[in-house]
Structure 1
């Protein structure tokens, strides 16, 4: 049976606003972040999308976002957490390495995770979630890095390709069938002006 996964990034947080690396450290949604979640909710409503189930990471920024989008009961899953940036968590984004070093940098120099580790745990968690009976249209709220690493796991099968960053409250719509995730579309209802 073909199912739908709506994988969404949380709204803007105080750390996003202050340009801080935000992994397992949490910070609250800003007023803009709350407005972004409500704009995403409006997009779901306008497109007649109804969820059978919902889940999010154990970070409050994810659960707070989810609660603004739906009143469904939901589960919080550790496997949906953001990448662990180790000792770099909470530090300035200026400390981020060049893209070519990003795959293992935080594991080697910070005691965190590799991109591959994040992608693997996201894939395992989302597969278990989608394989549950009755989970036909599932909203999942996670994080930019975690979503990007999951996207890489299934990029080859994607019907659309990532052409810009995953903005706060962007939505990746996947179909799930026979253990495979296929990306059908990426919606960025909160793309900043000029981007």
Structure 2
């Protein structure tokens, strides 16, 4: 933990990792990845609801970030009007030639890695560990910045899933019934290069 000697208090760093709002491809059940599609009316409305949720609970951010994809930056701009930085490291999992195709073409999970594993590598995409490593590296770097105490980062479903998998086992994710819905907000505490999952808020959850 960071200790402020001057005022004698313990400062806990906090990351709020949010998935973008619903997009056209989400609604059509198409694989999105590195490609992009616009937010739907529901996606816009839901992002605004998250902004209202933060206001009601007096949750404020000293810095905000999003991926380089428009669906993430558009979501962030609906949540808050504060300045932000776009980061390639938290963009969505790349699925190669499968992007834009129906989600029914997604492979069954690798039985050992309990994810898509290496499947998309042969089609010009990424594997699970590549996604996880870049997301963890990027979010760790921003939380290590001295003036970053309470941070908002808007990313994507696959990227957020692989980030969470670094800190929780798949069995634990299932036990806690953690969902990766559009506009889900994952709260993590951060200390000494490690994140600890605290909670997740979906729009239909009770407050």
TM over 0.5: yes
1:98 aligned onto 2:108: yes
What is the aligned residue count?
A: 188
Indicate the residue corresponding to 1:6 in structure 2. 16
Q: Runs of at least 4 residues of structure 1 off by over 2 A?
A: 159-162
- Deviation (angstroms), 1:164: 3.8
- Deviation (angstroms), 1:162: 4.7
Rg: which structure is higher?
2
Query: Contact between 1:168 and 1:190, CA under 8 Å: does it hold in 2?
Result: no
- Deviation (angstroms), 1:190: 4.5
Higher mean C-alpha deviation, range 96-105 or range 14-23: 96-105
Unaligned runs of 5+ in 1: none
Query: Contact between 2:131 and 2:162, CA under 8 Å: does it hold in 1?
Result: yes
Cα-to-partner distance string for 1:38-67 (whole Å, 9 max, x where unaligned): 111121111110000000000000000000
- In structure 1, C-alpha distance between the alignment counterparts of 2:66 and 2:176, rounded to whole Å: 22
Unaligned runs of 5+ in 2: 3-11
- In structure 1, C-alpha distance between the alignment counterparts of 2:176 and 2:88, rounded to whole Å: 25
Query: Contact between 1:80 and 1:142, CA under 8 Å: does it hold in 2?
Result: yes
If the length of structure 1 is used for normalisation, what is the TM-score? Answer: 0.92
Higher mean C-alpha deviation, range 166-175 or range 36-45: 36-45
Q: Specify whether residues 162 and 141 from structure 1 end up closer, same or farther in structure 2 by C-alpha distance, changes over 3 A only.
A: farther
Cα-to-partner distance string for 1:145-189 (whole Å, 9 max, x where unaligned): 000000001115xx9865143000000000011111001101111
Indicate the residue corresponding to 1:72 in structure 2. 82
- Deviation (angstroms), 1:100: 2.5
- In structure 2, C-alpha distance between the alignment counterparts of 1:155 and 1:72, rounded to whole Å: 31
